[in-house]
Amino acid sequence: MIRVLDIIEDTMVDGPGFRTSIYCAGCRHQCPGCHNPQSWDFKGGHEMSTEQIMKIIVADPYANVTFSGGDPMYQCDGFAELARAIHNQTNKDIWCYTGFTFETLITRAQRELLELLDVLVDGPFIQKLHDPDLLFRGSSNQRIIDVQKTLYAGEVILWEPDVNI
C-alpha cells in the first residue's frame, strides 16, 4: 500500500513527455519554499494498492511514470512493489523525485527502490538556489541522474535530455 495524495495523468512537468505522476504523502525534509508543503503530512491522502495504481498507469499507454511527493523514499517498500509491477507489465520508464542524495540512498534500505528507477532527481530543494529555468528540477543543487548507467559505471552519470526537449 502507498499513501497517495494525488495521481496526475498526462502531466509534462515531472520528466520528459507525458507522464502519470504519483504524488505521495509524507516528507521529513520540509524544505523552505517547497512547492508542495501539503505533502509533508504522513497521514495525508489515502491508501492505494499497487493494483489500483496500476489500473491508472496502464490505462494510458503513452505516458511514462513519475514518483513524487512528499518523498517516495519514505514509502520505499510500496514504491518498489509498484516499480516492479510497472516493469513487469509495461515498457514505461520511471522517474523519482527525492530530497535524499543518491549517495545516501545507495547505502540504505531504499536501495531496492533506487535500483528499479530509470532516473532520480535527487537532493533537497534549496530556495536560494532556485532557478525557474532549470529543466525538471527546482534548485541548482539537484541532479538528474541516469540511475541504470550510474549503477553500471559505479559513479554518478547525469541524465542527458533528447535534443527535442
Q: Which residue has cell 522517474?
A: 95
CB 81 within 8 A of CB 72: no
The CATH number of the domain where 58 resides is what? 3.20.20.70
Q: How confident is the model at residue 164 (pLDDT cuts 50, 70, 90)?
A: low
* Within-domain flag for 57: yes
* Within-domain flag for 163: no
The predicted model gives 129-154 an average pLDDT of 96
Q: Please count the structural domains in the chain.
A: 1
Dump pLDDT digits (tens) for 1-14: 999 999 999 999 99
* Within-domain flag for 160: no
Q: How confident is the model at residue 162 (pLDDT cuts 50, 70, 90)?
A: confident
Show the domain range for 103: 2-153
Q: Which residue has cell 502507498?
A: 2
* Within-domain flag for 12: yes
The per-residue b/e assignment along 12-42, b for 16 or more CB within 10 angstroms, e otherwise, is eebbbeebbbbbbbbbebebeebebeebbee
Determine the pLDDT at residue 15.
96
Mean pLDDT of the chain: 95
Dump pLDDT digits (tens) for 73-92: 999 999 999 999 999 999 99
The answer to whether the peptide bond before residue 26 is cis (omega within 30 degrees of 0) is no
pTM of structure: 0.95
* Within-domain flag for 158: no
The grid coordinates of residue 63 equal 505516458
Dump pLDDT digits (tens) for 27-73: 999 998 888 889 999 999 999 999 999 999 999 999 999 999 999 99
